[in-house]
Amino acid sequence: MNLRDSLKLYFVMGSQNCERSPVDVLEEALSGGVTMFQFREKGNRCLEGKPMMELALELQHVCQKYRVPFIINDDVELALKMGADGVHIGQEDESIGAVRKKLGDKILGISAHNVREAQLALESGADYLGVGPMFQTTTKNDCRPVQGPKVIESMRKMGIRLPVVGIGGIHSGNVHKVMEAGSDGVAVISAISKHPERTHTLFQGVQDSLLKSF
Ligand code: 3NM
């Protein structure tokens, strides 16, 4: 599968986002249609050290079973040590160029909140952009103001063709707005971590929007 296809339904999650076993949640999400996974162990109640590492390995194993890329949030050293498929970093993290060098041809995703950040990420060697917040979210404490799907539309108008996923407050009722703005897919935490049994509805929403755009 190419990267654009892998980004259709991107599940981002850490143990702090789950109401039951993260391994069970991921397994159910993958069988419901998730196409890429990011391990994001961050914020209140998150694991550290050995328990974090053990969980990361278990989740990587589940992704391998479903042949879905396993991405690590922020921690480049951990990603290299584990043989993860890639890393996702924010604007505040280590310089993008330096991370690109360390990763070689592994997947590098960057968070971008406006056209300027998208352009810089593109020039520094990003493989895809996570753009948000699309809508109001309570999952991330230090979230920027809502940008809305319009920011993806602006990026496309400015000629940015890099694969893009919208993130922030996305659920099956608003997924079409993100896709219609020119996104290749959506990245979600709570819509799946709290309701893994509803993953298929979200996946169907993405598919329907892609079919309509042809
Ligand atoms: N990044 P939910 S919003 C991790 O805007 C993250 O860059 C964001 O969680 C950004 O799907 C966000 O539960 C949280 O709203 C997404």
Instruction: Copy the structure tokens of residue 173.
Output: 């009722």
Does 177 score more than 70 pLDDT?
Answer: yes
Q: What is the rounded CA–CA span in Å between residue 96 and residue 168?
A: 22
CA distance 66 to 135: 30
Between the CA of 102 and the centroid of ligand 1 the distance, in Å, is 26
Which pairing describes strands 9-13 and 86-89: parallel, antiparallel, or unpaired? unpaired
pLDDT of residue 85: 98
Q: What is the pLDDT of residue 84?
A: 98
Atom of ligand 1 nearest to the CA of 170: 11
pLDDT on residue 93: 66
pLDDT tens digits for 12-31? 999 999 999 999 999 999 99
- Residue 78 Cα to ligand 1 midpoint, Å, equals 22
**Residues 110-135: pLDDT tens digits?**
999 999 999 999 999 999 999 999 99
User: Nearest-CA neighbor of 186 among 114, 116, 134, 126?
Assistant: 134
Whichever domain contains 59, its CATH number is 3.20.20.70
> What span, in angstroms and rounded, lies between the C-alpha atoms of 27 and 154?
36
Atom of ligand 1 nearest to the CA of 140: 14
- Residues assigned a catalytic role: 40, 111, 140
* Ligand 1 atom having least distance to the Cα of 90: 7
Q: What whole-number distance in Å separates Cα of residue 45 and Cα of residue 67?
A: 29
Q: Which residues pair with 131 in a beta bridge?
A: 112, 166
Task: Give the pLDDT score at 1.
Answer: 83
Reported as a single tens digit per residue, the pLDDT across 50-86 is: 999 999 999 999 999 999 999 999 999 999 999 999 9
Number of domains in the chain: 1
Residue 15: name the closest of 60, 50, 69, 59 by CA.
59
Segments forming the whole domain that contains residue 17: 3-213
Name the token pair of 122: 């593109």
Mean pLDDT in residue range 160-164: 97
- Coil, helix or strand at residue 141: coil
pTM over 0.95: yes
The preferred substitution site among 140, 147, 151, 175 for testing ligand 1, maximizing ligand atoms within 8 Å of CB, is 140
pLDDT at residue 35 tops 90: yes
Q: What is the overall mean pLDDT for the chain?
A: 96
Q: Cis link prior to 133 (omega < 30° from 0)?
A: yes
Rounded to the nearest angstrom, the distance between the alpha carbon of 189 and the centre of ligand 1 is 7
Token representation of residue 137 = 């979210």
ipTM, two decimals, is 0.99
Calculate the CA dihedral of residues 146, 3, 188, 110 and round it to 10 degrees. Answer: -40
- Closest residue by Cα to atom 12, ligand 1, is 168
Instruction: Report the separation in Å between the CA atom of 40 and the middle of ligand 1, taken as the mean of its atom positions.
Output: 11
Q: What is the pLDDT of residue 19?
A: 94
Nearest-angstrom CA–CA distance, 166 and 185: 7
Residue 189 CB less than 6 A away from ligand 1: yes
